[in-house]
Structure 1
Amino acid sequence: MASDGPKRQTSDWENETDEALVLSLRQGNKAALAILYDRYSRLVYSIAFRVLNNGPETEDLTQDIFLNLWQKQTYDPSRSSLSRFLSTVTRNRAIDRVRSRSNRRRILKGVAAPQTIPLETFSLPEANASLGERSERVRQALLTLPEKQRQLLWLAYYHGFTQSEIAGHTNIPLGTVKSRMRQGLLKLRGTLQDLAD
């Protein structure tokens, strides 16, 4: 049969333009993705590594960039070259990851920092000790939650974020934020039931 039909070999696509490969990719041709990856993965990796300075995270982001190129189809050849598009997207996504990483560190530091209890809160030393123990129990119980739930509860209760602010800050839909927080609170209530007595 004709060699230029839909079952062309990967080698048949290697000399195609980026635009032709992107069009073929949008039609579900995985061979086009492999060729684009071969052409641009080194560029994407080097930009991501300069920002992230972390090999595994850079590899993960590189894979994400090409997966998004295939699935989300946001590249418009009439606006820029594919190399410029990939460079811009990679730099932005890497910077977002660095910001997210530093936010997580700041949040974890805030949670790990010892809570100071004003002396005037309770006059009895036993009461101060009891409050410190309760605070530590709550902190330990939070650490047992899945990270998706724990992160949202920390933002709400240790940093005072509203559910809407959390959704905006984490790019998680508001309904998902509410659902995860509700699930986390139910688990905490079960774990800390004796404290409610």
Structure 2
Amino acid sequence: MNPDSSALRPTAASISSESSDLELLTALAAGQVHALGILYDRYAKLVYSLAFKILENSEEAEDITQDVFLTLWRRNTYNPSRGSLSSFLTTMTRSRAIDKLRSKGARLRVIQRLQGIVRTEPSSTTPLEQASVGERAQLIRDALAQLSETERQVLEIAYYEGLSQSEIAKRLNIPLGTVKTRSRQGLLKLRQTLQDYI
């Protein structure tokens, strides 16, 4: 007679803060969400500290921390033979934080190029130079007019008020993911419209 395989699984009662990482991950894979809470208590400070060190932004570090633990829960790709769980979480955190920095850098470069288009030079006094500045400003207005109202609103708040995406989400009372999507789509449209000028 085959033994019942469920008897080999850790039960919710047997999982505690004293359980090993591997026991907790096994319990998590078996659907015991309580195990995630223990792992979070054990490693959240490590993950948050590293994310904050890279991003220098507490809200973005919190976003990364949540993302790392949600990923561990939904798609556990940790392999114990390749190192400790702390090393795995550190690697994932570093990767996510660097991706966020790259994404922010790309957005910043587009905004800086747009600023360069509309920036007026102090010595722009000739009619030809004034016409050129006016023409560039009109190009920007036309490009912004092609965005949806929601995309334009997010970009204008980021550009004119300097708010982070998390701050914009709070201001507009919408999910952070929605802000990220609108910002990304708006910047892509601006880049396409103005590709000959930036």
Shorter-chain TM band = 0.5 to 0.7
1:17 to 17, 20, 25: 20
Post-superposition offset of 1:143:
7.4
2:189 to 146, 150, 153: 153
Counterpart-to-counterpart distance in 2, 1:58 and 1:21 = 24
Alignment map for 1:112-191 (pairs within 5 Å): 112-114=115-117, 131-132=135-136, 134-141=138-145, 142=147, 144=149, 145=151, 146-159=182-195
Q: Which amino acid aligns with 2:110?
A: I
- 2:67 aligned with 1:64: yes
Structure 1 unaligned segments of length 5 or more: list them.
Answer: 117-123, 161-197
2:55 to 49, 52, 57: 52
TM-score by length of 1: 0.64
Q: Which amino acid aligns with 1:135?
A: L
Counterpart-to-counterpart distance in 2, 1:151 and 1:111 = 10
Counterpart-to-counterpart distance in 2, 1:128 and 1:98 = 34
SS in 2 for 1:51: helix
2:109 to 100, 106, 111: 106
SS in 1 for 2:93: helix
Question: Contact 2:47–2:90 at 8 Å: present in 1 too?
Answer: yes
Post-superposition offset of 1:134:
4.1
1:85 to 85, 88, 95: 88
Counterpart-to-counterpart distance in 2, 1:85 and 1:94 = 14
Question: Contact 2:40–2:69 at 8 Å: present in 1 too?
Answer: yes
1:38-88, CA deviations, whole angstroms, 9 ceiling, x for partnerless residues?
110111111111111111111111111000011111111121110010111
Q: Which amino acid aligns with 2:21?
A: D
Question: Contact 2:17–2:38 at 8 Å: present in 1 too?
Answer: yes
Paired residue for 2:165?
Answer: none
TM-score by length of 2: 0.64
Q: Which amino acid aligns with 1:147?
A: S
Post-superposition offset of 1:93:
1.2
Counterpart-to-counterpart distance in 1, 2:9 and 2:87 = 31
CA RMSD in angstroms, aligned pairs only: 3.1
Counterpart-to-counterpart distance in 1, 2:36 and 2:69 = 8
Question: Contact 1:65–1:90 at 8 Å: present in 2 too?
Answer: yes
1:80-122, CA deviations, whole angstroms, 9 ceiling, x for partnerless residues?
1100101111112111111211111111111232259xxxxxx
Segment drifting more, 150-159 vs 127-136: 127-136
Question: Contact 1:41–1:62 at 8 Å: present in 2 too?
Answer: yes
